[in-house]
Chain A
Amino acid sequence: MNHLDELENKSVYIIREAYNQFKKIAVLWSIGKDSTTLIQLCRKSFFGHIPFPVIHIDTGAKFEEMYEFRDKYAKEWKLNLIIAMNKEAMARGVKCGEGDGFTCCNELKTNALKQCMAKHDFKALILGIRRDEHGIRAKERVFSPRDQKFNWDYKNQPPELWNQYRSISDDQTHVRIHPLLHWTEVDVWKYIKRENLPINKLYFAKNGLRYRSLGCKPNTKPIKSDADTVDKIIEEIKKSKSSERAGRSQDKEAAYVMQRLRKLGYM
């Protein structure tokens, strides 16, 4: 079995285990490469049709190309798509890219998801995060419980030794399931190539620039690159020494830090 088969098998096992344990479950689709790979794995897990809803958290500030991609493939893959928007905050004038970067993320992403989870009473969420993406994610578990305030108590997590997962939840509000946790950025691109997966065109270089990671339009910058094919992207990442999210100005941790520094007067 080659490396990609091993990764795929493990992910499919996790997705099936999750669906078996939680009937009130959904998968998050940000339209980026990781969650699109995750959607593909979910489709494979259930022979082409995903038996649970797919949630897209829409901040209203995604790239046009992302909306086009979402609508096209939601239809083609017959996804039960739920678009989660915090319309109440938007009506109050909260806009992505304005203010401290913390408020908009918190209102338009976290609170939009909270509202959506409460409305549909979801007990579990499948997400496409990977350990190699960000230092803070290195401590994540495959089955990761969240409390009522959505907080992640990383100091008190079930051990996951020898691929044994604690997939049963008792008192927590919901469990997050991370079937791609063991993948790397290069793995994802190699899998996209092998499966011939459609992927957003923003990832491919145009006029010397491409997006390596997709977020909200005001906070996402392209990187310098001539990689206009999947092969070239794989080669580029292998050589790259910068972080995958270098073009993303507001990672949550940086946003919290910035918010606190501002309280002390930093601009």
Chain B
Amino acid sequence: MFIIGLDGATWDIIKPNIDKLPTFKKILSQHDNYTISLQQKPWSASVWCSMFSGKLPEEHNHLDFVKDGEVQTRNDVKVDFIWDILSRNNISVKALNIPFIVPPYNYNIYFNPPGYGVPLTQEELNTEITEITNKIVSVTGDSKPELFIAVYTALDKMSHLHWGGESLIDYYIKIDKAVNKIFELDEKVLILSDHGFTDYDKAPVQTLPKITSTGNELKGDHHPDAIAIAKNIPFKVNQPIDVFNGLISYFNVK
């Protein structure tokens, strides 16, 4: 099974621009797709953590990348993740670039993310797509695990910085091409985002200040509607923790 995370991906860009996104157009016409309306706050660190630990924010208590001025690390998050549990049960698993912390977390795979996992320049933002895609494609044959999770994180930064702009559509076109390269690598594929996006002033929560320390104005912020596209996935994701619970029952582990 293959889980592809697209941090911050929203139907509000994909559907109106579907003719520019041939891969999405094709897979949406062929496979289940739906909206995940988050009941928990749409904070990336917290949602990815819930998704792969099965714990609600009040249980995992990992709300953001930074706590008391300190960048949080894997050791600060006191939960077992799906990869820990599957490994204990001798089920092969790899997790690539999972952004519940920065730099994002890798399990059973080595990856050095552009921009220390916080890509900011256009070059870093573009490089992330290529490098993640190449890394995914390189995992073949015996090294291919039973569960492979990989997350593209730069879409989130791109959406904060360029919401409403043509450059964001161009970035979705790049994501579309990447999905085209990896969607057929497995029989069972689940694409999902951790939250959606909207205009900064219309967003129900502001996750970042509008004007950054370098004087840039953020154009977009998080929306609680996330996306899901499921190819032969035997469970439905209504809330982030359903990803963990679905995997636990699919692999029949405790």
Q: How far is A243 from B74 in the complex, measured between Cα atoms in Å?
A: 12
Q: Is A264 an interface residue (CB 8 A)?
A: yes
Cross-chain contact B214 with A263 (CB below 8 angstroms): yes
Q: Is A162 an interface residue (CB 8 A)?
A: no
Cross-chain contact B117 with A257 (CB below 8 angstroms): yes
Q: Is B13 an interface residue (CB 8 A)?
A: no
With A265-B212, A266-B65 already in contact, the answer to whether A243 and B75 are too (CB < 8 A) is: yes
Cross-chain contact B103 with A257 (CB below 8 angstroms): yes
A147, chain B: closest CB distance, angstroms: 17
B76, chain A: closest CB distance, angstroms: 10
Cross-chain contact A256 with B213 (CB below 8 angstroms): no
The number of chain A residues with a CB under 8 A from chain B is 16
Q: How far is A262 from B212 in the complex, measured between Cα atoms in Å?
A: 8
Cross-chain contact B218 with A261 (CB below 8 angstroms): no
Q: Is A6 an interface residue (CB 8 A)?
A: no
B83, chain A: closest CB distance, angstroms: 17
Q: How far is A234 from B247 in the complex, measured between Cα atoms in Å?
A: 42
Partner of B120, one of A242, A254, A263, A267: A263
The number of chain B residues with a CB under 8 A from chain A is 23
B216 — which chain A residues lie within 8 A by C-beta? 263
Q: Is B102 an interface residue (CB 8 A)?
A: yes
With A264-B118, A266-B65 already in contact, the answer to whether A257 and B209 are too (CB < 8 A) is: no
Q: C-beta contact mask, B67-95 vs A, less than 8 Å → 1, else 0?
A: 00111000100000000000000000000
With A243-B75, A253-B116, A266-B208 already in contact, the answer to whether A261 and B70 are too (CB < 8 A) is: no
Q: C-beta contact mask, B192-228 vs A, less than 8 Å → 1, else 0?
A: 0000000000000000110111101010000000000
Q: Is B115 an interface residue (CB 8 A)?
A: yes
Cross-chain contact B115 with A261 (CB below 8 angstroms): no
Partner of B116, one of A243, A257, A264, A266: A257
User: Which B102-122 residues have C-beta < 8 A from chain A?
Assistant: 102-103, 115-118, 120
Partner of A254, one of B71, B115, B208, B213: B71
With A253-B116, A264-B118, A265-B218 already in contact, the answer to whether A258 and B66 are too (CB < 8 A) is: yes
Q: Is A173 an interface residue (CB 8 A)?
A: no
A265 — which chain B residues lie within 8 A by C-beta? 208-209, 211-213, 218
Secondary structure call for the A interface: helix
B129, chain A: closest CB distance, angstroms: 18
Q: Is B231 an interface residue (CB 8 A)?
A: no
Partner of A261, one of B65, B75, B160, B211: B65
Q: How far is A262 from B70 in the complex, measured between Cα atoms in Å?
A: 12
Secondary structure call for the B interface: loop
Q: Is A260 an interface residue (CB 8 A)?
A: yes
Q: Is B157 an interface residue (CB 8 A)?
A: yes
Cross-chain contact A257 with B71 (CB below 8 angstroms): yes
Cross-chain contact A264 with B75 (CB below 8 angstroms): no
With A257-B103, A257-B118, A258-B71 already in contact, the answer to whether A264 and B66 are too (CB < 8 A) is: no
Q: How far is A260 from B211 in the complex, measured between Cα atoms in Å?
A: 15
Q: Is A249 an interface residue (CB 8 A)?
A: yes
B160 — which chain A residues lie within 8 A by C-beta? 264
B71 — which chain A residues lie within 8 A by C-beta? 254, 257-258, 261
Partner of A267, one of B66, B75, B211: B66
Q: How far is A264 from B200 in the complex, measured between Cα atoms in Å?
A: 14
Cross-chain contact A261 with B212 (CB below 8 angstroms): no
B122, chain A: closest CB distance, angstroms: 14
Q: How far is A226 from B160 in the complex, measured between Cα atoms in Å?
A: 48
Cross-chain contact B70 with A249 (CB below 8 angstroms): yes
With A265-B218, A266-B65 already in contact, the answer to whether A260 and B120 are too (CB < 8 A) is: yes
Closest A residue to B117 by CB, please name it.
Answer: A257
Q: C-beta contact mask, A208-242 vs B, less than 8 Å → 1, else 0?
A: 00000000000000000000000000000000001
| Apart from A264-B120, A264-B157: 18 A-B pairs, beta carbons within 8 A | A243-B75, A249-B70, A256-B116, A257-B102, A257-B103, A257-B118, A258-B66, A260-B120, A261-B65, A261-B66, A263-B212, A264-B118, A264-B160, A264-B208, A264-B212, A265-B211, A265-B218, A266-B208
Q: List 25 A-B contacts (CB under 8 A).
A: A242-B75, A243-B75, A253-B103, A253-B116, A254-B70, A254-B71, A257-B71, A257-B102, A257-B116, A257-B117, A258-B66, A258-B71, A260-B115, A260-B120, A261-B71, A262-B213, A263-B118, A263-B212, A263-B213, A264-B208, A264-B212, A265-B208, A265-B213, A266-B65, A266-B66
> What residues make up the interface of A, taking CB atoms closer than 8 Å to B?
242-243, 249, 253-254, 256-258, 260-267
